[in-house]
Structure 1
Amino acid sequence: MKTLIAAALMLGSAATPALAQEAYRASGTEPFWSLTIGAQTMTFEAPGQRPVSVATPKVIHGFAGEIWQTRRIGVNTVHKQCSDGMSDRIYRDTVTVTVDGRRYDGCGGGTMAPAPRPGPGPGPGISLIEGNWRIAMINGRRPVYGTAPTVVFNGTRISGNASCNRFTGVFELARGRLTAGPLASTKMACASPLANRQEMQVLQILGERLTVSSNHSGKIVLSTRRGTSLSLERSGRR
C-alpha cells in the first residue's frame, strides 16, 4: 500500500511541473507578452499595458495540462511542444491566456532541445547576423509610419538608423549574447513625438545585453531580460 501511495505521489509530481516551487513562466509574440505564476501571485505583462496581478488560484489538473482560472486571468496549458515562431527554441507546453476577455496564445513550461536547422549552418554567431537588417518589429509593434529603422553588423561594428538619427558603435557576440555600446548617435529631432519615442526604445534596447535568436525564415530577434525586443529582417546583401 505504501509503495502504491509513493508511486502515485511521484507520478503526480512528474505530471505537474507547474506546481514545482520554481515559478511557471509563459510568453508569446505578436503582441509580446509574458506570464509568471508564483506560489502567491499570478502576473501578466505586455509592453504598453499595465501589469495585471491576481492571487494565484488553486490549480485544476486537466487531461491535457493545468488550468488556472480567476475573474481577470485564465490560463490553460497543454503538454504539447510549442514554438514561439520567432526563435529556434522549443517549449514543453502550448499555453492560452485570457486577460480581461482578450486571448493570448504562446508557449511555456521551459525549453527543450533546440529545433533542428534545415541543413548545415552557423549558430547564433557573428556570421549569422553579419550584414544589413531592417527593424521589422519593436516590442511586437511595427515601426511608426514614415520611419525605416535599420541595423548593420559589420565585423565587430554596429551602425544603423534608430528612426531619424544615425548611430554607430562596437559590439561583442558570445554564446548567443550580444553587448553593444556605448553607441554614438546624431541629435536631430524626429518629425513626430511617436518617432521620438520609438527612437528612444530602439537605442534603449540596443544598449542592453541581448539574447540573439533566429528562426527558419531567417529573422533575427534581439531580446532583453525585461521582455522588450527588436525583430530584424534581412535587407540587401551581406
Structure 2
Amino acid sequence: MRLNTIVVSFGAVVLLTACDSAPSSNTINYQCGALSVAAEFAGADVTFHLGNHTTQLTQEVSASGARYLNAEQEIEFWTKGQEAHLTIAGQTYPLCLDVTALPQQFSARGNEPFWLIQHQSDSTSLRQPKGDQDFVNITVTAQAKNPSQWHLQLDENTKLEVAADLCHDSMTGMPYPYTATLTMAGQAMPGCAGEPHRLITGALWEMHASGLETAPSIQFTEDGTVFGYSGCNRFNGGYELTGEGLRFKPLAATRMMCSEPQMEIEQQVFQALEQVTLFDVGTEDNTLQLKANDTTVLRFVKTL
C-alpha cells in the first residue's frame, strides 16, 4: 500500500530535517511529536520507516541540510542537524527530533518555589519571584551512560538537568515530555520541561475496546485542529491546550447513518469529548487518556 494512502486515511502528512550532509550509512530514530519514525541513511538514499510501513526516498539538491523525496508517494524529508521536518501529501508533521538530541529551544518550570526557564540555542533566561537572570556561554552535554539525559551548566552555581521522562506538573497534573531539575547554590528544585502538545500531536490514536470493526480514532495537529472518526462519521474541529488543561471546541461531523451499535458509540464519543478538561499519556507514550477532571472518559492506543 502506498504510504500517502496510509497517512491520508487519517489525515497525516510528513517532512524531516537532520544532517547538513547525508550520513554514509546510519539509522536515526526521530520523534515527530508523538509519532515515532526511523530514517535509514545509505549513500544518497533513505529508507523511511513509519510504523510497519517502509518507503524509499532519494536525495535531491538542497541549499541547506539534506533533502529527500519520493514524488510518487508525496513524501518530503528534510534533515538539518539533529532536527527534521516531515511532510506527506502536503501536510506537515510536528518538528522531528533525533531521540538523542535535546530541543534547541524549550521551556522548563517548577513550583514551590516557582521558577521558569526559557532556553534558546545561544542563551537562557531564568524567571523567579525574587528576580530574573540571563545566562550566556552555556554548556550542554549528554550523559555518557544515558543519551536521553542532558546537563546544562548555566554558570558555576546554576545548572539544569533534563531527562526524556514523562513528567506531571505538581499543581495542575498536566503531563510534559521531560523531567527537569534546577539546582542553584546547592538547592535542587524539581520541575517539568518541554511542551505538552508533543505528547499527542502527529500520531494516530485509536479508541480502546470500542467493540466496532473500525474503531473510533483521533488525531491532533500543532495548529490547534483535531480530526478523526467517531464510529460512524468523520469529524473535525479545534482544541485548546493550556498550562491548565485541554478542551475541545465545537466539532463538525458528516451526517451518515450507520448501524445502531455504531451510532451509540458515536454518541458516547461526542458526549465525552465535550466533557474533556485534561489529558494524560502512559509511561511508554503509547496510550492516551482524555479526562473530565480526574475521571477518564475516553481511552486510546497509538496505532501509528
TM-score range, shorter chain: 0.3 to 0.5
Q: Which has the higher helix share?
A: 1
TM-score by length of 2: 0.35
TM-score, reference length from structure 1: 0.44
Structure with more of its chain in strand, by fraction: 2
